[in-house]
Amino acid sequence: MLTFDGVIIAQGDFHLAADLTISKGLTAVIGPSGAGKSTLLGAAAGFVSLKSGRIVCDASDVTAAQPGARPISMLFQDHNLFPHLTITQNIGLGLRPNLRMTAEETSRVKAAIGDVGLDGFGDRKPGTLSGGQQSRAALARVLLADRPVVLLDEPFSALGPALKDEMLRLVQRTLVDAGKTVLMVTHDPDDAESIADHVVLVAEGAATGPFDTEAVFANPPAALMAYLGTRVSRRS
């Protein structure tokens, strides 16, 4: 569970208010570009300072904690792997930030590589992998880090439609089924509608929700209507 408790973010002319609680399962963050979807995630992860309010994970207040000390994993739009480290090392960082691993930890890394279907790629550098394989490696690290909250800031946006769907299903099968709280930014309402349990709308200076996905698309509030326009719902 992740709570934005009376959060207000202010950066120059930009303002964003968020007062919401994200429960377990997959929650999609949608809204127009520039409205602050990434900023909302950045605030939870500790990269954006708050003007006021608190970030609470499960029962603990993490507002003052360093990014690495929060029970939160995050994948960014790009630069999710270190190009000079092998896939094994990149994934191992989820377990040991200094890479001094025991034999037991090394075998866990190996298992995680297998879980995302990258057996045999452990000694390769990210540059020699395809975009989809790189995404899988980053996801393996999130799995291994095993933190209760996972933030996905459009990490799959550079992939083609088929690969992206495959990754979303992998997220569903691994993270969501393991009972994580997953908050995922997407610029594609279809993604939200097809796999998200809930939807948070970031628009006009505020994050609102979470709404039940089916209900909100069936009967969108005014701000969502303005963003979606005359789009035809997939499920209707």
Partner 1 sequence: MARSALPIITMVPAIVAGAIVVVLTLGTLIAVALRAEVGSGLGPADWAAVRFTVAQAFVSASLSVGFAIPVARALARRQFLWRRLLITLLGAPFILPVIVAVLGLLAVFGRNGVLNTALAAIGLPEVSIYGFHGVVLAHVFFNLPLATRFLLQGWLAIPAERFRLAAGLNAPVGRLLEWPMLCVIVPGAFLVIFVICLTSFAVALTLGGGPRATTVELAIYEALRFDFDPGRAALLACVQFGLCAIAALVAWRVSAVDALGTGLDRVVQRWDGSRWIDGIWITLAAMFLLAPLSMVVFQGLAGLDDLPAEVWPSIVRSVSVAIVSAFLTVGMALALALQGGRLVAVIGVLPLAASSLVVGTGLFLMIFPFVRPADMALPVTAAVNATLALPFALRAISPAVAATTENYGRLAAQLNVTGWAWVRLVVVPRVRAPLGFALGLAAALSMGDLGVIALFADADAATLPLTMYRLMGSYRMEAAAGAGLLLVAISLMLFWICDRGGRVNVDV
Residues sharing a CB contact under 8 Å with residue 236, sequence separation 6 or more, in sequence order: 218
83 binding partner 1? (CB under 8 A): yes
13 binding partner 1? (CB under 8 A): no
49 binding partner 1? (CB under 8 A): yes
What is the Cβ-side half-sphere exposure of residue 199, based on CA atoms within 13 angstroms? 27
Task: State which of residues 10, 15, 51, 69 lies at the interface with partner 1 (CB under 8 A).
Answer: 69
86 to 125: interface string for partner 1, x by CB under 8 A:
-------xx--xxx-------------------------x
Strand 14-22 and strand 2-11: pairing?
antiparallel
Q: In what order do the strands lie in the sheet with 198-203?
A: 60-61, 52-57, 2-11, 14-22, 206-212, 198-203, 25-30, 181-185, 149-153, 72-75
134 to 163: interface string for partner 1, x by CB under 8 A:
-------x---x------------------
127 binding partner 1? (CB under 8 A): yes
60 binding partner 1? (CB under 8 A): no
Where on the chain is the footprint of partner 1 (CB under 8 A)? 42, 45-49, 66-69, 72-74, 76, 79-80, 82-85, 93-94, 97-99, 125, 127, 141, 145
